[in-house]
Structure 1
Amino acid sequence: MSDFRWNRLVSYYARPRSFSTGGVNTSRQQWMAAISKQDIDVLVLSAEGGFDRVLVDAPRLGFATLTHWGRRRMTMVPRGLGGRIRRGDLVYLHEGWTVSNVVAAAVCRLRSIDYVVFPHGVYSPGITEHLRLLRVRAFIEDKVLDHALAVHLFFDSEIAEAAAVSPSAKTVVSVTGLDLPDATWDGGRPDRFIAWVGRYDIHHKGIDTLLDAVEGMSPDERPRIRMHGPDHLGDKARVRQLVDEKKLNDWVDVGGELNPSQVREFLLESCGFIHVPRWEAFGRTIVEALSVGCPVVLASAAHISAQLGADSAATIIDGESRSDIARSLGDLWNRRLQTGRAGRDWVARELSWDARARDLLDQLNQLYDEEHRKPRGSGPTPVTGSTNV
């Protein structure tokens, strides 16, 4: 993309190795690889000694690490960041509410470097309502977003969440891509299991409500559910305890974390996938299930649910309703072929990495042009991204 307004894009994300799980690590590297394939130089900058594993490869994509003070995700402070970025760069900051992002934003402002904040869903009320010292942190976060070139969101439905943190922040909207795999779901068998893949975070992922729904079904109607994912603050053991207390051991298996290829095989072997979070910005496993044609049952609290529901690409339910969950589990087998095909078609149509990268870069270029045409002293110009997924 020869008309990219900057000389280079630098993606900075400070995350300790203990927080190596989660979709942000994968998502941000895949975004940077897709952007680099538009003939743009990209540097992925991570915390030395933290999560710095290279997950992708592209010709104009480089990787480096930076030393930090501190070891905690929320309070790590970058050392020497000013020596790694330069005027003419566009700097991408990931997640939010962290000292590392506040420092990086300040360095960018001092050196007249444009930056974008990519929150990956951290401005959801499900997160903000549990933050300590919210008033002070919201004041600081507002300044970070207000001075950013843009806040990069996945969906238009997130704009209100960003505006609640910083009313004058500008936004671009472009969802994470996923290239369609060759493997496809074979239609399943009724004796197969329903898959659940995610972080064992009971409240966030709605695991308690899911187990309540299964408990409320008659034993002869209960499906077999197999769960896999990384632990979160000891919740995996608590999930096992809930399964024991509800006497669901014959129907619910609580398994360990899977690597990406194992996740795909797991989905292909299932008769469907269920995800009932109380909030979700993107949800990578959702689109991975859709991409292989695996039928998906999804809570309406996930931002992606509106687009999927409009195209009948997934079964959308009230994730707080035990009866809705139970009904969807019972109906999944009868609707599997229709929703499975529609989901794979949706991914092919909407999530091409090349199209996603071009869409994002067009929006960023537009913001750059508007900022540089703006008379000195004028206020920010709110911009929203493409209304397409």
Structure 2
Amino acid sequence: MKIFFVTPSFFPATYYGGPIFSTYNLARALTKNGLDIRVISTNANGKERLDKPTGIFIKDSENLQIKYYKSLDSRGTSISLLTNLKNDLKAADIIYLVSVFSPPTPLTLYLSKKLNKPLVIAPNGELGSWCLNQGSRFKKLWLKLFISPFIKRIYWHVTSEDEEKMVRAVYPNAKTFVLPNGIDLEEFSSLPFEKNKSFYDTYTGFSCAGKKIIVSMGRLHKIKGFDILIEAFHALQKEFSNAVLLIAGEDFGEKSNLEKMINQYNLNNKVFLVGKLDGDEKLEFLHNADVFALASHHENFGMVVVEALACGCAVVISKKVGIYQQLMNYDGGIIVDNDSDGIKKGIIELLSDNQFVKNKAANGLRFVEEKYNVKNIANELVDIFSAIIGDWNDTSAY
């Protein structure tokens, strides 16, 4: 079975955050499963460009085949990709399109019809109400011109029941299947059992031994609600004056506003914006904390929450994070309203009882191991792809 991914950016373009890792993990797992996976993308990585050969398929260590085209901007606009896309897709059994609002999307949809190929779209939360309201006129026009004419052809890969509702709020008759993002649990297996808070000394400039460490992670964008988190942290100083908050992530236009808040609340020695972290440093950042907190206004899934849980960290998340209901079923974290008072109370609840926080972390880890192992998710997706091909071959309505 040949599955061709089309995406404006691809690993190691970590500038774009969670979707890069989830798409990469999925493509690798499907390759290990024996599928012929080919990724058609660009070398976009924010303001930088990936140092990769362009215009040819290259294999990574897992035999995953990737073709990077030269991008003209940070959005993955590539003339060479568009010029060669028809030839690249001819051999596909299924086209798997990552993103709704991206430069390759219109042509990919058109070619899926011209080449008579089934098409799966992974919207990654782009059809959520919060996202649609950002640049709403442009996005409504985009959907009308480029998505709606092909809607009967599209299968939607949504990562949670909440995201399924979001897609069907726009397209009531959408063909959807719910399958979460997954992680490679082997990447987390080398983490030590004990926490080492001196790890954070480099970021703070002082010893963090004996401190209560709260962390968060994500691109510094207003959708992530870091302003809510900082406000909550300020409010809990009476209960935990020894607490420290560290936020990791690339600036997406919100850093200066967050710095103003930090100065306004006189938290310069309490709150630290540490920049983007990758690899082992990222995992240690999550593992060694007492609490991970996420106050996003919208997360269709919440990959970083799964990563924090896999690192053995207890979490506080809002009901705006797509996986909150499943996490509640495992009693694997504190779920709160998306406001500073809710976040504050959730953090205090965890920090106030060492055994309670250990129990939550253990439940959260079990939740990840049972629900988000990418190997199991890839097995399910192979069956879904087979069913889509069967449905496609049996249907003449497209």
When normalised by structure 2's length, the TM-score is: 0.84
Of residues 304-313 and 327-336 in structure 1, the stretch that sits farther from structure 2 once superposed is 327-336
Q: Percent identity?
A: 20
Which of 165, 177, 185 is equivalent to 1:172?
177
Counterpart secondary structure, 1:150: strand
Which of 354, 361, 376 is equivalent to 1:355?
376
- Change in Cα spacing, 1:307 to 1:18, as seen in structure 2 (3 Å) is closer
Cα contact 2:183–2:373 (8 A) shared by 1 = yes
Cα contact 1:9–1:89 (8 A) shared by 2 = yes
- For 1:104 and 1:27, how far apart are their aligned partners in 2? 21
What is aligned with 1:228? 248
Counterpart secondary structure, 1:29: helix
What is aligned with 2:328? 309
- For 2:68 and 2:270, how far apart are their aligned partners in 1? 45
Displacement of 1:228 after TM fit? 1.3
- Change in Cα spacing, 1:157 to 1:236, as seen in structure 2 (3 Å) is same
Cα contact 1:36–1:58 (8 A) shared by 2 = no
Trace 1:83-232 onto structure 2 (pairs within 5 A).
83-131=87-135, 132-143=137-148, 146-180=151-185, 181-182=188-189, 183-186=191-194, 191-201=211-221, 203-222=222-241, 223-232=243-252
1:9 counterpart = 2:3 = yes
Q: Which residue identity does 1:71 align to in structure 2?
A: D
Counterpart secondary structure, 2:357: helix
Displacement of 1:318 after TM fit? 0.7
Of residues 35-44 and 324-333 in structure 1, the stretch that sits farther from structure 2 once superposed is 324-333
1:154-187 residue CA offsets vs partner (Å, 9 max, x unmatched): 0122112112232332112111112332225536
Cα contact 1:184–1:292 (8 A) shared by 2 = no
- For 1:262 and 1:126, how far apart are their aligned partners in 2? 31
**What RMSD, in angstroms, separates the aligned Cα atoms of the two structures?**
2.6
1:366 counterpart = 2:368 = no
Which of 258, 268, 273 is equivalent to 2:277?
258
- Change in Cα spacing, 1:292 to 1:215, as seen in structure 2 (3 Å) is closer
- For 2:92 and 2:104, how far apart are their aligned partners in 1? 21
Displacement of 1:105 after TM fit? 1.2
- Change in Cα spacing, 1:190 to 1:299, as seen in structure 2 (3 Å) is farther
Counterpart secondary structure, 1:225: strand
- Change in Cα spacing, 1:144 to 1:231, as seen in structure 2 (3 Å) is farther
1:66 counterpart = 2:69 = yes
- Change in Cα spacing, 1:327 to 1:146, as seen in structure 2 (3 Å) is same
Displacement of 1:310 after TM fit? 1.2
Displacement of 1:87 after TM fit? 4.5
Higher helix share: 2
Cα contact 2:317–2:324 (8 A) shared by 1 = yes
When normalised by structure 1's length, the TM-score is: 0.86
- For 2:67 and 2:86, how far apart are their aligned partners in 1? 14
1:39 counterpart = 2:47 = no
- For 2:159 and 2:62, how far apart are their aligned partners in 1? 26
- Residue correspondences, number: 367
